Amino acid sequence: MVRSKRNWDEDDVRINKSRQFGSSNKARARTKDRPDYANADTATIIEVDRGRVKCLIQTKTGKLIITAMKARELGKKSVVVGDLVSVVGDISGSDGSLARVVSVLPRKNSLTRTIDDHANDERVIVSNVDVMAIVISAANPDPKIGLVDRALAVAYDQGIKPIIIMTKKDLADGDEFLKIYQDLEITVFKIDKSSNLVTLKKELAGKITVLLGHSGVGKSTLVNNLLSTPQKNSIKSETKSTQQVTGAVNEVTGRGRHTTSGAIALPLSSTFDSDEFGWIIDTPGVRSFGIAHIKPSRVISAFPEFTEAISNCKKNCSHNESSCALNHWPGFNNQNLARLASLRRVLSLG
């Protein structure tokens, strides 16, 4: 007979108190019935900070910003800036009020990246955006083709309009670099700290724009110049500073310092009902932007002039083989071929 090394006694026995003292103290029985959120309000996420989020919501008295917590069942990384969500609870926006995000509505698009090109490690940065502003600097640090190409691939894949904003034009003209993208007919803005941004503001008015770029290219400075006036909460009328912290470029490595810790949406106008009202979503400077999750055929199909040719490609065509219909389509002219070559380079197909 095998004996235990420990001598057990009655103190080692655990008693379920709910059973010991009768049915009146029993734990509440679980139910399969789920809460009904049919009357939940819809809001837009403008900032995520751990378990709390800030939302823009339309009420009977106008638009206002509220604070909410995420329902536990949504998970830790279920909500990103730009998401449309259903909220319940206190949506007054008053001091100490706290609503609850109970569901995330379907996204029309999302800006995602994979870490070091691992397709299974896909991360959503923001969602439901209209414009992707790829911010590069003419110098210090020098513009990188890799980041621009990868960002364009994601933009075309998700149906987001890309534009290029080149900062620090006072240090270099950057024209040679920009020639690479002229066949794709992308709108380009060249600016520095003293530039008049009226034309750029008109381009972004009424849209949700995400800024994407390496650290040190001047994204935070650009945001500060775009946001000419402080924004106000429509309920309390308390001034909320939207000035972003700026950082310098390391002279040894040529890399910038992260000054934005997480994506945050900032209003372009101090008045929610203004015709020029729109959102700028500032994101942390990226050093890795993998696109292993992007399908080349989906990117190329975003260009209507290639749709008919692609329909004649073989199944699972990589669009980088001699039999690809894009290589032999009779309707192509020199401009079509130049745009196709640029797209293939963007996707590292050529």
Q: How far apart are CA 215 and CA 283, in angstroms?
A: 10
Q: Looking only at Cα atoms, what is the longest distance across the chain?
A: 91
Confidence of residue 36 (pLDDT cuts 50, 70, 90): confident
Residue ranges per structural domain of the chain: 41-104, 110-282, 296-346
User: For the whole model, what pTM was predicted?
Assistant: 0.78
Among 70, 58, 68, 150, smallest CA distance to 103 is for: 70
For position 320, what pLDDT does the model report? Answer: 84
84 three-class SS: strand
Q: Tell me what percent of the chain is helix, strand and coil, each rounded to the nearest 5.
A: 25, 25, 50
Q: Evaluate if residue 59 carries a pLDDT over 80.
A: yes
Is the CA virtual torsion 175, 178, 180, 182 positive or negative?
negative
The more confidently predicted of residues 93 and 292 is 93
- What's the pLDDT tens digit per position in 220-275? 899 999 986 444 433 233 334 444 444 444 443 344 444 444 789 999 876 666 66
Fold of the domain built from segment(s) 110-282: Rossmann fold (3.40.50)
Question: Which band of pLDDT confidence, cut at 50, 70 and 90, is reported for residue 152?
Answer: very high
- The pLDDT score that the predictor gives to residue 16 is 60
Of the two residues 259 and 327, the one the predictor is more confident about is 327
> Is 174 a residue whose pLDDT tops 60?
yes
Q: Tell me the CATH class for 41-104.
A: mainly beta
pLDDT of 78 above 70: yes
User: Letter for the amino acid at 57?
Assistant: I
Provide, rounded to the nearest whole percent, the portion of the chain with pLDDT above 90. Answer: 49
What per-residue confidence (pLDDT) applies to 263? 84
* Nearest-angstrom CA–CA distance, 94 and 104: 24
